[in-house]
Amino acid sequence: MSVSSHSTSFVENTIAFDLVRVTEAAALASAQWVGRGCKNDADGAAVEAMRKAFDNLAIDGVVVIGEGEMDEAPMLYVGEKVGCGGVPMDIAVDPLEGTTLCAKAMPNAITVLALAERGKLLHAPDIYMDKIVVGTGLPEGVVDLDASIENNLKNLAQAKRKPVQDLVLCTLERERHQDLIARARAVGARVQLLTDGDVAGGMAASLTTSDVDIYVGSGGAPEGVLTAAAIRCLGGQMQGRLLFENEMQRQRAQAMNPGQDPSRKLGLHDMAAGSVLFSATGVTTGALLRGVSYHKGHSQAITHSLVMCASSGSHSGIIRFIETYHQC
């Protein structure tokens, strides 16, 4: 059996539910800090719990999207090996997406990770990425990163057979997006603004349970890779492009992905190819997942997670929502 076919079978049939335990551990640890105003402590707790949980995961894993370089992060740093042995896999993690959301007890803080076959995830430095995401069931190329927001909204409205006025565009509430927001509203689209939560925002555009039709704007490149893994599983469309502030960042991206143009427009499979598995657990309740809740005088906690798979050929079309009861 080839590594590829073995990995696909292994991911879809063995690892999925074990992987949820990793995001659950990070969620339970960071939930202790919800509303306490200490985002660094919340993030540190999530990182430590997630790293420990990886010790029980039967993979030969290497972190390619993590907490930073080896000299910047004590654990889950880029290049760190995790797991207790098994199929070679690349790992992308965000132990607490929305540290500020957690610190302020605001919606949509989640813990996130993705696995893919070795060499199939884009190695993205901690810089910005321009992104555009839409959902499943649409003509290929219905939107394009290089097209104007006006044309993208027009084409998306035609594909969805509804007026632009009924479209919801989601983006991060940032000064750099003011022109994008103004132009989208000028053609009649509604705009949903996020204070944080780049991955959850991108996923919203591909979830049938969400009102979001399109996610656009620049956010973290590591979060872009995690979003791409999720969109692969959901069957949506996504494009991205790394944004460089200086030549040093460009050279870093080039070194991480030899032989590739770091400035090229990235398709979905450029960011997350092959067999992919994605897991997320809610920390605070949001549109995607319910947060950690406590019962019986904090002796019992309940977590809400999702896990999704995509094979090298296509997405599975299956989203598993998992509710777990933990004795504290």
Count the neighbouring beta carbons within 10 Å of the beta carbon of residue 123.
21
Of 55-64, 82-91, 251-260, minimum mean pLDDT range: 251-260
**In percent, how much of the chain has pLDDT > 90?**
83
pLDDT per residue as tens digits for the range 65-81:
999 876 678 899 999 99
Per-residue pLDDT band at 121 (split at 50, 70, 90): very high
For residue 97, pLDDT over 70 is answered with yes
Which structure tokens are listed for 194?
């996020």
For residue 129, pLDDT over 60 is answered with yes
Q: How far is CA 92 from CA 66, 129, 137, 200, 299, in A?
A: 6, 16, 27, 15, 32
**Domain that includes residue 321, residue range:** 3-119+275-327
Give the chain's length.
328
Per-residue pLDDT band at 3 (split at 50, 70, 90): very low
Q: Of 238, 271, 304, which residue constitutes the final position of a domain?
A: 271
pTM exceeds 0.95 = no
Confidence at residue 230, expressed as pLDDT on a 0 to 100 scale? 97
- Per the structure, how many domains does the chain have? 2
Q: Are residues 264 and 148 part of one domain?
A: yes
Q: Are residues 113 and 93 part of one domain?
A: yes
Q: Are residues 192 and 209 part of one domain?
A: yes
Per-residue pLDDT band at 5 (split at 50, 70, 90): very low
For residue 179, pLDDT over 90 is answered with yes
For residue 10, pLDDT over 50 is answered with no
For residue 209, pLDDT over 60 is answered with yes
Confidence at residue 69, expressed as pLDDT on a 0 to 100 scale? 76
How wide is the angle at C-alpha 79 spanned by C-alphas 75 and 81, nearest 5°? Answer: 70
Query: What CATH number does residue 287 fall under?
Result: 3.30.540.10
Radius of gyration of the chain (CA): 19
Q: Are residues 234 and 210 part of one domain?
A: yes
Question: Which residue in this structure is represented by tokens 């884009």?
Answer: 122
Beta-carbon contacts of residue 203 (< 8 Å; ≥ 6 apart): 227, 230, 231, 234, 288
pLDDT per residue as tens digits for the range 247-283:
999 998 999 888 889 999 999 999 999 999 999 999 9
Q: Confirm if 130 and 221 have CB atoms less than 8 A apart.
A: no
Q: Are residues 73 and 145 part of one domain?
A: no
Q: Are residues 146 and 258 part of one domain?
A: yes
Q: Of 271, 292, 307, which residue constitutes the final position of a domain?
A: 271
Q: Are residues 57 and 22 part of one domain?
A: yes
Q: Are residues 94 and 197 part of one domain?
A: no
Query: What CATH number does residue 234 fall under?
Result: 3.40.190.90
Q: Confirm if 26 and 292 have CB atoms less than 8 A apart.
A: no
Q: Of 235, 254, 271, which residue constitutes the final position of a domain?
A: 271
Q: Are residues 165 and 138 part of one domain?
A: yes
Question: Which residue in this structure is represented by tokens 């872009």?
Answer: 224
For residue 1, pLDDT over 80 is answered with no
Q: Are residues 262 and 290 part of one domain?
A: no
Q: Are residues 252 and 323 part of one domain?
A: no
Q: Are residues 149 and 94 part of one domain?
A: no
Task: Spell out the alpha helix ranges (H) of 133-263.
Answer: 149-160, 178-186, 198-204, 221-234, 247-256
**Mean pLDDT computed over every residue of the chain:** 92
